Structure formats: structure tokens, C-alpha cells
Amino acid sequence: MKSLTATHGSETWPVSVEKTSDGGYRIVARGTMMHLHVKPTCGGFLVSIPDLKRCGEVPRDVNARDLAVYCDIDNDIDAATAAAALWAIIAKQVRIGVRPC
């Protein structure tokens, strides 16, 4: 996948998204790395972030606030980074025909 840009307030930073062999995604930004697993559900997408020990169901138009609330992510930078990656991941899944129920 391509490089993306995450934003929090007036601050921006690059985010790199790479598909892993287990069907998940490796997200690299600001010198840190996290893994995401995304599966469609009837209400949106189930997101698992094993590195943060968090998961939750988010809407298709997910944003950092959604991740903070639905996945209980306390760190705003982590939430913004994951949200930027999820926008690209979900958009790609929708383009190739993966849709919730």
C-alpha cells in the first residue's frame, strides 16, 4: 500500500501501511509499529490492534475519535495513526468488493 498522512490538531506525520502474511496489516509511523486486523461485520468493521490489546467495531468512515471510544485507545497519536491506516484499508476492501452484511 501507499504511504499516508495522519493528522492530530495542526501536527501531521507519514504513515506506512503494509499487508502481512497473516492477512493483517503492519502500520509504521513516528518510529513505532502496530499491527491491525480488519474484518467486515453487519455494522461496520471489526478492528483488532493486538499491540495495544484492543479491539472494537468501528463504522466504515472511522476516525480517531471512533477508535478512542469503540476500541478504548487512550493515546491520541496512536488513534490518529490507526485511523489514517484504517481509512486506506477499508477503502481498499470496499473497492475489491469486501462489504459488511
Q: Is residue 101 in a domain?
A: no
Look at residue 1 in the predicted model and tell me its pLDDT: 61
**Global pTM exceeds 0.75:** yes
Residues 11-68 pLDDT 10s: 999 999 999 999 899 999 988 899 999 999 888 899 999 998 999 999 989 999 999 9
Q: Is residue 66 in a domain?
A: yes
| Identity of the amino acid at 83 | A
Look at residue 101 in the predicted model and tell me its pLDDT: 67
Quick one: average pLDDT of 71-100? 86
Which has more confidence, 66 or 3?
66
Helices (H), 6-73: 64-70
Q: How far from chain centre, in Å, is Cα 26?
A: 10
Q: Is residue 19 in a domain?
A: yes
Q: Which three cell numbers stand for residue 56?
A: 472494537
State which residues form the domain around 8.
3-95
Q: How far apart are CA 32 and CA 100, in angstroms?
A: 30
Which sign does the torsion angle of CA 49, 68, 14, 99 carry? Answer: positive
Host H or E run for residue 13? strand 11-19
